[in-house]
Amino acid sequence: RLSNDRNRFMLARTPIMLKQMIAGDDASFVFERIGTQFSNIMIDEFQDTSQLQWENFRVLLLDNLASGGLSMIVGDIKQSIYRWRNGDWHILYNLGQRGYNGIPLKEKPLDVNYRSLGQIVTFNNRFFPIAARKLDHLSANETQQLQALYSDVEQHIDKRKDPKGGFVRIHICHSTEKDVQEAWPETMLADLCSQVAQLHAQGLPYEEMTILLRKNRYIEPVISYFAEHRPEV
């Protein structure tokens, strides 16, 4: 009601408004009507595009291509993990497989990792194809296509970085025994604290360490444990 009284609308309603404007109209006419012309288009983070957004983008992209413009879609299906605003990774996957309306797409994979050190890149190259194959085998869902999605996961190490640099350590805590499950949080916290102490002893400053947690409720136990066992952190 406040938005209507002040002649405003929520930004989240923009895709709905565009779809209503485009429906039954030629795209170029619609965008001329709002006083906008696009010669070149780039859409980033395309893996998070929803079906509603794609219906709007699709008309605009086709009109742009028909006019001789350049359209670029940037995205990584493997990053489609958050489902922001009903994001659908199938859109990007199908475009890569079949193109659109007979229009082939020119793919440009970014196969050099400029962010990570050598050991991390090597670990990713070896781990994720195996994990995708295992999960596809275990899944009862025939539409799961993790192996296909991770077929381009392998990257090259930036030549400016040390191929032996970096470190990966995996510690799996798992047991069906009730007493072990109940003791797991203490075991995990002790192991985490030990890792931090070891890395610091090897010369890594505390301010360059980051602890990633899945949920906010896990933050307080970690802080409390470190406050008691490693207050200097």
Tens digit of each residue's pLDDT (9 = 90 or more) over 72-98: 999 998 888 667 678 888 888 888 877
Measured CA to CA in angstroms, residue 202 lies from 79, 120, 169, 232 at distances of: 33, 18, 15, 16
Higher pLDDT: 34 or 131? It is 131
CA–CA distance, 2 with 9 (Å, rounded to integer): 9
CA–CA distance, 80 with 144 (Å, rounded to integer): 14
Higher pLDDT: 128 or 179? It is 128
| Predicted confidence band of residue 115 (pLDDT cuts 50, 70, 90) | very high
pLDDT of residue 140: 67
pLDDT of residue 59: 78
Higher pLDDT: 70 or 11? It is 70
pLDDT of residue 178: 62
Instruction: With beta carbons less than 8 A apart as the criterion, state whether 189 and 233 touch.
Output: no
CA–CA distance, 116 with 120 (Å, rounded to integer): 6
pLDDT of residue 117: 94
- What letter would DSSP give residue 143? T
Q: Angle at the Cα of 101 (from 80 to 153), degrees rounded to 5? A: 30
pLDDT at 124 over 70: yes
In angstroms, what is the C-alpha Rg of the chain?
24
Tokens 């299906």, located at residue: 77
Would you tell me how many other CB atoms lie within 10 Å of the CB of residue 43?
16
Using a pLDDT cut of 90, give the percent of the chain over it.
30
Higher pLDDT: 215 or 99? It is 215
| Selection from 53-67, 86-100, 122-136, 181-195 with the highest mean pLDDT | 122-136
CA–CA distance, 137 with 7 (Å, rounded to integer): 54
Tokens 């940037």, located at residue: 74
pLDDT of residue 31: 61
CA dihedral 11→17→19→23, nearest 10 degrees, is: -170
CA–CA distance, 97 with 103 (Å, rounded to integer): 12
SS3 114: coil
pLDDT of residue 183: 67
